Amino acid sequence: MKNKGSDLLEIDGLCIHVPHRSGFFRLKTGVVKPVDEISLKIPPGKTLGLVGESGSGKSALGKAIVRLSQPSSGKIYFEGRDITRVRGRKLRALRKKIQMVFQDSKSSLNPRMSVGQLVEEPLRLQKVGRGWQRRARVAELLERVELPRNAMRKFPYEFSAGQCQRIAIARALALDPKLIVLDGSVSDLDVSIQAQIMNLLLDLQEEKGMSYLFMSHDFSVVKHMSDMVAVMYLGKVVEMAPAEVIYQQPLHAYTKAFLSGVPNPSPFEQQAPIALQGDVPSALNPPAGCAFGHRVGHVRYEESLGQELPFEEVTPGHWLLRCPCCGPI
Amino acid sequence: MSDLLDVRGLVTSFDTASGWIRAVDDVSLIVGKGKTVGLVGESGCGKTVTAMSILDLLEKPAGHILEGEILFKGEDLRKVSAKRMREVRGGEIGVVFQDSREILNPSHRIGKQLINAIRLHRKISRKQAKMRALELLDAVGIPDPRRMLVSFPYQLSDGMRQRVMIANALSCDPDLLIADEPAMSLDVTVQAQILDLIDSLKEKFEMGVLLITHDLGVVAQHCDDVVVMYAGRIVEHGSTRRVYSDPKHAYSKGLLFSMPRLTNVCKHYFQTIPGHPIANENLVSGCRFCQRMDRDKSVLLRTRPEYLEVWGDHWVEVCPECYKG
């Protein structure tokens, strides 16, 4: 199937269902659904911010997009082509175009390789240029991510967390990808370093016109990066809208609760207390019906039982998981 | 003496391969009864070392307190006996550590750990201690305290484990609670619950709280006073409202500006602090923030900047480059 719209990445009803086995005979006792019926689009040169608490399935989705894991159903289209099941040489060619930066950059960099080798690795594996050309490219990349010149011969342990993140970004940039999946890439950093990395990412996007899928559990960080924002809860996207809209008029009860939980950095405004209890329920035993209505104990939760909740466009560009308890009536 | 905790001129030093490092350099702070003081700064600035110095939990023999007084209810904790210190730590001063996964013993049930901690400080029977543990677990909002007593730490979520840690810290009705990043690795929704819990318990038990964090949003919502640290020194301290509305030091300003906020417009650039926090090995005697900013050497202070009270109880380190009147 070719030419499905003009979007760079389109995800259609993607599911990752993993059988859960337990006991001596490893009998199948249930199905874990880290990603359940997700549909998203990322236009070229734009950023989609994906927010959700830990355990909501953000990383599982990211890994499926870069094809580190195999989705169980649904389709992923990249540049109009179905990439859900590409293999071998085609997959390798695809890796040039989609790259990922992981949350913990320190552990994602091989401690036995020098920074020069690390940044060169993607070029080497894709057989781009000759040795001296690759080394020139590495120097250029390190300069672009504002690392010192002598970094090339050093090893990851000699760098701070923020600098390791820069190395990981340089690695991802090496092949000039069209899409970078950023999985919580700034969340472990101090505010001043976090701000530097985010400025760098914004600069690079302007320069090269890449798209980002920016995943984080911090709503305020996502606001600084995104054109579109999707909110994930327990494997499902509950709401998706242009960034300005979602922050001003959130519709889903979960989005509202999540937004109210972000600490307000002004000591003069009292933060509204949030009506949210407990943790995200386990994906192994998700409640029947609306998962969020279950968590807050909504009075109309019963109505959502046994229903298939539709993901609908409420106003142009604003998508919402319709359910009797959490949305507007 | 109305102040619960009064730290004066604390200097803590570590003996490392590259010489003595003053990780905490002349830090003074006061926590009053029923007040929350936020200690903020980037990682490696000496926040945790300050807390560990107060509790006498420094890694020995490398870590030493060289100078200063730690007055807790008028008693200098540096001078008391080891026995008395054990009574204070966990008894009169409760502690919530950063990583609950590492602190709770993985091979003992929660109940056993709580009961032992209570019985260490109080001469009560096992049964009474168990009642007390149930009461505490209930107070920190754990749904089924009885089941919690027989659970192992790995069976709990991060948020629940952090609640158990808080219950543990409160077990002996402390006068002071030291919370070192109590909600750092938690999601915002859970984080808000934990911090609100600390707030409500503070009011209920009239504790003083020393809240160590790097999240300025948390400080704004939960602290009366804020102490900003950089490279082992306090650069600014004052009431939260004063410091947030009118930060005086370039570093505090930088931190506040580089913070992501929901009120900012979408997709916009941050004002940032260039460079990264300097390594502790090459600290200068002058203004340390100037060192990070790579300012012109000729204008730099050679000696340590003085403190100036710019407003009632709002102090700032006056370096001619970082503080412009």
B324 phi, psi to nearest 5 deg: -105, 90
Mean pLDDT over residues B310-316, rounded? Answer: 87
Per-residue pLDDT band for A118 (boundaries 50, 70, 90) equals very high
pLDDT at A76 over 50: yes
Residue A67, domain member (yes or no): yes
Per-residue tokens: A290: 């609306």
pLDDT in tens, B239-271: 999 999 999 999 999 998 888 888 888 788 888
Q: What is the mean pLDDT of chain B?
A: 87
pLDDT of the residue at A1? 46
Residue A310, domain member (yes or no): yes
Residue A167, domain member (yes or no): no
Dist CA B112 CA B116 (whole Å): 6
pLDDT of the residue at A5? 64
Residue A3, domain member (yes or no): no
pTM comes to: 0.87
pLDDT in tens, A120-135: 999 999 999 899 999 9
pLDDT at B297 over 90: no
Q: How many independent structural domains does chain A possess? A: 1
Q: Which residue has the higher pLDDT, A290 or A123?
A: A123
pLDDT > 90 fraction of chain A, expressed in percent and rounded: 42
pLDDT of the residue at A57? 86
| Domain span including residue A265 | 9-97+177-321
pLDDT of the residue at A266? 83
Q: Which residue has the higher pLDDT, B218 or A2?
A: B218
Between chains, do A266 and B216 touch, taking CB under 8 Å as contact? Answer: no
Between chains, do B266 and A247 touch, taking CB under 8 Å as contact? Answer: yes
Give the 3-state secondary structure of chain A.
Answer: CCCCCCCCEEEEEEEEEEEEEECCCCEEEEEEEEEEEEEEEECCCCEEEEECCCCCCHHHHHHHHCCCCCCCEEEEEECCEECCCCCHHHHHHHHCCEEEECCCHHHHCCCCCCHHHHHHHHHHHCCCCCHHHHHHHHHHHHHHCCCCHHHHHCCHHHCCHHHHHHHHHHHHHCCCCCEEEEECCCCCCCHHHHHHHHHHHHHHHHHHCCEEEEEECCHHHHHHHCCEEEEEECCEEEEEEEHHHHHHCCCCHHHHHHHHHCCCCCCCCCCCCCCCCCCCCCCCCCCCCCHHHHHHCCCCHHHHCCCCCCEEEEECCEEEECCCCCCCC
Q: Which residue of B has its CA nearest to A269?
A: B221
Residue A183, domain member (yes or no): yes
Choose the most confident range, by mean pLDDT, from A1-10, A202-211, B251-260: A202-211
Mean pLDDT over residues B150-168, rounded? Answer: 87
Residue A160, domain member (yes or no): no
Q: How many residues does chain A have?
A: 329
Best probe of the B interface among A106, A145, A191, by most B CBs < 10 A, is A191
Residue A306, domain member (yes or no): yes
pLDDT at B47 over 80: yes
pLDDT of the residue at B2? 67
pLDDT at B67 over 60: yes
pLDDT at B128 over 90: yes
pLDDT at A270 over 80: no
Mean pLDDT over residues A264-288, rounded? Answer: 72
pLDDT of the residue at B177? 94
Q: Which residue of B has its CA nearest to A276?
A: B189
Gap from A250 CA to chain B (nearest CA, Å): 13
pLDDT > 90 fraction of chain B, expressed in percent and rounded: 38
Residue identified by tokens 């003069």 is: A268
Biggest CA-to-CA distance, chain A: 67
Mean pLDDT over residues B155-164, rounded? Answer: 85
Sort strands A98-101 and A179-183 into parallel, antiparallel or unpaired.
Answer: parallel
pLDDT of the residue at A268? 83
- Option in B160, B190, B262 nearest A223 (CB): B262
Between chains, do B189 and A258 touch, taking CB under 8 Å as contact? Answer: yes
Dist CA B181 CA B42 (whole Å): 12
Between chains, do A224 and B270 touch, taking CB under 8 Å as contact? Answer: yes
Q: What CATH number should be reported for the domain holding residue A39?
A: 3.40.50.300
Dist CA A78 CA B42 (whole Å): 40
Mean pLDDT over residues B23-52, rounded? Answer: 90
pLDDT of the residue at A275? 59
pLDDT of the residue at B294? 76
Q: What is the mean pLDDT of chain A?
A: 86
pLDDT at A2 over 50: no
Mean pLDDT over residues A53-80, rounded? Answer: 89
The ipTM assigned to this model is: 0.82
Dist CA B194 CA B141 (whole Å): 10
Q: Which residue has the higher pLDDT, B1 or A131?
A: A131
Best probe of the A interface among B270, B271, B281, B294, by most A CBs < 10 A, is B270
From chain B, pick out residues whose CB is under 8 angstroms from the CB of A268: 241, 244-245
pLDDT at B108 over 90: yes
pLDDT in tens, A238-253: 999 999 999 988 998 8
pLDDT of the residue at A11? 92
pLDDT in tens, A139-190: 999 999 988 878 899 999 888 888 899 999 999 999 999 999 999 878 778 8
Residue A76, domain member (yes or no): yes
